[in-house]
Amino acid sequence: MIQRTIFIYYPLKRGGFKPQFFGKIDLLPQMFSQVIIPPEVQKEFGIYFSWLIVKSTQNIGMVNSLKLVVDDGEAEAITLAY
């Protein structure tokens, strides 16, 4: 497996989880060595997968600035990926 990291965010507040997404989510750990999400996205998922890495961001200023234009989970995910 190629060592690749993916930061994911699924816009739950804009249409919700689609049932077909759950059938494919198990492909992520097969394709990526790490799957990292921020705490807000974990909260929005509402379920836990052992292969998900929940990581908090240290740049609160950037998160707060982004929250002016995107949802909380997106703001945290973008900041983590940055």
- Is residue 25 very low, low, confident or very high in pLDDT (cuts 50, 70, 90)? confident
Which among 16, 13, 8 has a CA at the least distance from the CA of 67? 13
- Mean predicted lDDT score pLDDT of the chain: 77
In tens, the pLDDT along 6-24 reads 555 554 444 554 444 555 6
Higher pLDDT, 73 or 19: 73
pLDDT of residue 6: 56
pTM above 0.85, yes or no: no
Six-digit token pair at 62? 């950037």
Q: What is the mean pLDDT of residues 40-51?
A: 82
